[in-house]
Structure 1
Amino acid sequence: MNGERKARGKRRYVGLDIHKHYCVIAAVDKEGQVVLHAVRVEHQDLEAWAKKNLQDSDHVVIESTTNAWHVYDLIAPLVERMVVANSFKVKQIANARVKTDVRDTLILARLLAANLVPTVWVPPQQVRELRQLLAQRREMVETHTQVVNRMHSVAHRHHLKHERGKRFNEKNTGWQQDKRLSGMEQFQLKLEMENRAYLEKQIERIGKEVAKLSHQKPWAESMTYLMQLPGFGVITAMTVLAAIGEIERFETAQQLASYSGLVPGLEQSGTKKRGKGITKEGRKELRWALVEVAQRAVKSDPYWKKRFETMQKRMHRNQAIVAIARQILEVVWNVLTQRQPYRHFSEERIAYKYLTWGWQMDEEARDGLTRQQFTRYYLMRLGIGQDLTRIALDPKHPRRIASEAEVLALRPELHRIE
C-alpha cells in the first residue's frame, strides 16, 4: 500500500470488469449497497481515473483474463487489498440469466463484500514473463507442426517416397521439383520450406533463452532438483516450474496433483459412484509437460519402465502414462520441498543430466563455466558425486568432470552450502 495516500471514508468493495478496450467499475459497501455507480473507463484513462477515485481503504476484485495482470499491477499499489477471481468458478457461483457489464461488475463487488470470491494466485513478474515466453514457444511448435503436415499432405497426394527422416531436410529439396507436382504446388512447398526454416530458428532462439534463464535466479535452485529426474529436459522442467510458481503454495503432493488436473474425477448420484477420468483442471501446460516427461521416463528409466509395464496389465496405455505422470509429479513435489537427490538414479546418471543441461548454453550463459565445471557446480549444490571424476555411461566415450577444487576457485560461495 502506498504510504502517501490516506484512507477516506468507509471501506468499499470495488468490482472491476475488464474488457478488451475498457473496464467497467462499480463499488458496494459491506451490506452490498451501491456506493459507486458503474462507470466505463477506457484502458488508456484507467491509471488517471484510479488515482483520482480509488481510496486506500478499498478492496478491489478483477477476473483472471488475458490482460488482468497489467490492470493488477496498476491498481494494487493504490488500495488496501486486491484479489484476482477465478473466472470459471465465479460463473458457477453467480450464474445470471441476464448478463450486462454493469451486472457482472456488481456481482464481482458483492461476492467480494461477502468474502465469497474464489481467488487465484497472483504470480510474480518473472513467473508471468516465463509463462508468456513458453506459451510463445508452444504456439510456434504447433505452427511448425501444421507446416510440416501440409507438406506431408502434398507428398502423400502424389505418392512421393523419400529416405525416411530426410524428406523435409533443407538439403533434400530435389523432390519438390518432381514432375508430378504442379507449378503452384512447387511454389507453395517452397514457401512452406521457408516457413519451416524460420520457425525452427525462432524455436531454437527461445530454447536458448529459456536455458539461459534456467541457470539464473529464481529458477536455478529448483532446476538443481528437477533436472536430476528422468525424462526432464530444460523446456519441460522450466514449464513445470513456471506452472507451479511457488512450491510452498502446496502443502501436500495431493494438492499439487489436484492443481495439475491429473487426479481422477468422480460422478456421484445417490449411492452410485462413477469415475470420470482426470479432471483437467488447472494449467494445461503442466499436464502436457508431465505427460511428455512420463513418455520419456518409461522408455529410458528402468524404475519407471517397470511401474509402467505393471500398470499396462490392468489399464489402457494412455491411462498408464497419465498415472505415471501423476506419480512423477509427486516426486517433483518431494524433491522441491525436501531439497534432496533422486534416490532411484545413480550419481553418474544425475551428472550426465547436468552435463546435457550445460550443453544447451554457451559459456556466457553458464556464467563463464565450462560444461565440465557446470556439471560439478550442480553436483556440489546437490551435495553428491564427491568421488565422481568422469561420466562413463558410454565406456567408449567417457566424459571428464571438473574437480571440486577447480569449481570452488571460481565459485567460493559453494563453501557455504551445507
Structure 2
Amino acid sequence: MNTQITAQPKLYIGIDIHKRSWKIDCATELFSGKSFTMPPKPELLRDYVLKHFTDYEVSTAYEAGCCGYYAHRAFKSYGWRSLVVNPADIHRKGKEKYTKTDKIDAQLISRELKDGRLDSIVVPDIEREQLRSLFRRRNDLVKDYRRVKSYIKMQLLYFGISIPEEFDNDHWSHNFRSWLDGIVFDYPTARESLSSRMRSFRFIDKELREVSTKMRAYCRKHYKNDYYLLRSIPGIGGIVACGILCELGDLRRFNNIKHLAGYVGLAPGIHQSGDSQKSTGITMRAHRLMRSYFIEASWQSIRTDPVMQAYYRTHIGKNVKTIIIKVARKLLSRTLGVIKTGIPYEIGVVE
C-alpha cells in the first residue's frame, strides 16, 4: 500500500530561556515531547531541527523577560513561526501551579503552543526597542535621584541639622546646594560622608538632565508628528509623550479605548457571582510604569484644562484615588483620539 503525506508535519518547541542555558521541549502531533538542555544560541537549535526534523513546519515560543527579543528575531529569520508570550498567559493545571522547574516550564509552553492557546505580545522594532532602553535608563536615574536626596536628608536629620525654611521643599536650588556644601561638622569624617553624597547627587542630576534632553530631541526628530500631537494635550509634557512613544509604540495598533485601557491597566476589575456583582478597582494586570505616568499627568491636566477640571469637580466627595483614575482614563482616551485622528487637541473643547 502506498502512503502519501497530505499535510506538512508540525514541530512545536517550548523554550525556557536563561542567561547560560536553554531548556528545550519539542513536540509534534504524534508524540508529546522530548526535553533537553542546550547553550543559549539560536543557531544550535536550528542545526538540531535541521538534523532531526527536516521539512517540519516549526513553531517556537518562550516567555518575555530579561533576554529580550534577539532569539525571536533569529527564529523568524529561519522562517519559523515565533511567539514571545506573557508568562501570566501560560495556563497551569492543578499541581503545576505549585511545582516549578525549567523542564516543566518548557513542557507547559510547548503544550500550550501545540494546543493553540498562546498569543504573542507585540514585539517592537529594533529602533523603538533601543529607544525604550533610553527611556528606562531615565526612569532608573529618577529612582537614584530620589534615593540620594533621601540619604542626604537622612544624614542631616540624624545629626540634628535643620533645613532652613526657605530651602525645605522638593526643589533643590543652587543656593540650597551651596548651603549643604558649607555645613560644618565637629569631625571631618561626617563632612566627607556628606560631600560624597553630594558628588553622587550632582553626577545623577547631570546624567538625568542629559538623558532627558537627548530622549526628547530624538523623539522630536524621528516621531515629530506623534510627539507634537501628544504635547497638545494638557497634562502631557515632553517626558510623558516620550514615554508613550517608547513604551506603547504606535497607538494606532489599538482598536479602541477599551483595548488600550486594558493594556495600560486603567480598566475596571469586576467580580460577579450569581446576582452579586462588585467592582474590584483597577485591574492588577497593567503596564505599571505607564499607568503611573498617566496618573501623574492627570493631576497636571485638572490644573490646566477647564474641561478636565469640571469633570473632576463633578465627582468631588468620592474617594480621591477613584476620581483621579477616572481622569486618567479620560486622558488616555484623549491620547488615543489625537493619534487616531491626527488632529491636535484644543483646550476647552467639550468632548
TM tier relative to shorter chain: 0.7 to 0.9
Cα distance between partner residues in 1 of 2:312 and 2:176: 40
1:42 — aligned with what? Answer: 39
Q: Which has the higher contact order (CA 8 A, sep 6+)?
A: 2
**154-163 vs 57-66, which moves further:** 154-163
Offset at 1:171? 6.8
Offset at 1:121? 1.3
**Selected match of 1:300 from 304, 316, 320:** 304
2:274 — aligned with what? Answer: 270
2:4 — aligned with what? Answer: none
**Selected match of 1:318 from 300, 316, 321:** 321
Q: Deviations over 1:343-386 (max 9, x none)?
A: 3359xxxxxxxxxxxxxxxxxxxxxxxxxxxxxxxxxxxxxxxx
Cα distance between partner residues in 2 of 1:80 and 1:282: 30
**Selected match of 1:240 from 224, 244, 248:** 244
- Tell me if structure 2 keeps the 8 A contact 1:90–1:118: no
- Aligned residue for 1:28, secondary structure, equals strand
In the TM superposition, what are the counterparts of 1:173-188 in structure 2 within 5 Å? 173-179=178-184, 182-188=187-193
- Tell me if structure 1 keeps the 8 A contact 2:236–2:297: yes
Cα distance between partner residues in 2 of 1:94 and 1:24: 22
Identity of aligned pairs, percent?
A: 19
2:19 — aligned with what? Answer: 20
1:329 aligns with 2:335: no
Cα distance between partner residues in 2 of 1:93 and 1:243: 32
What is the one-letter code of the residue matched to 2:81? Answer: R
* RMSD of equivalent CA atoms: 2.4
Q: Deviations over 1:44-73 (max 9, x none)?
A: xx1330331235721111111111312212
1:89 — aligned with what? Answer: 89
Cα distance between partner residues in 1 of 2:190 and 2:88: 45
CA distance change for structure 1 residues 155 and 294 in 2, over 3 Å: closer, same or farther? same
2:264 — aligned with what? Answer: 260
2:200 — aligned with what? Answer: 195
In the TM superposition, what are the counterparts of 1:6-17 in structure 2 within 5 Å? 10-17=9-16
What is the one-letter code of the residue matched to 1:83? Answer: L
CA distance change for structure 1 residues 282 and 123 in 2, over 3 Å: closer, same or farther? farther
**Count of matched residue positions in the alignment of Structure 1 and Structure 2:** 333
CA distance change for structure 1 residues 195 and 270 in 2, over 3 Å: closer, same or farther? same
2:3 — aligned with what? Answer: none
1:279 aligns with 2:283: yes
1:103 — aligned with what? Answer: 104
- Tell me if structure 1 keeps the 8 A contact 2:92–2:108: no
Offset at 1:40? 1.4
- Tell me if structure 2 keeps the 8 A contact 1:54–1:78: no
CA distance change for structure 1 residues 14 and 189 in 2, over 3 Å: closer, same or farther? same
What is the one-letter code of the residue matched to 1:224? Answer: Y
What is the one-letter code of the residue matched to 2:104? Answer: R
Normalising by structure 2, what TM-score?
0.87
CA distance change for structure 1 residues 81 and 206 in 2, over 3 Å: closer, same or farther? same
Cα distance between partner residues in 2 of 1:100 and 1:113: 20
Offset at 1:210? 0.9
CA distance change for structure 1 residues 93 and 295 in 2, over 3 Å: closer, same or farther? farther
- Aligned residue for 2:149, secondary structure, equals helix
1:359 — aligned with what? Answer: none
Unaligned runs of 5+ in 1: 1-8, 347-418
2:124 — aligned with what? Answer: 123
Cα distance between partner residues in 2 of 1:168 and 1:190: 17
**Selected match of 1:209 from 214, 233, 253:** 214
Offset at 1:118? 3.6
Cα distance between partner residues in 2 of 1:170 and 1:80: 61
Normalising by structure 1, what TM-score?
0.74
Unaligned runs of 5+ in 2: 1-7, 51-55
1:228 — aligned with what? Answer: 232
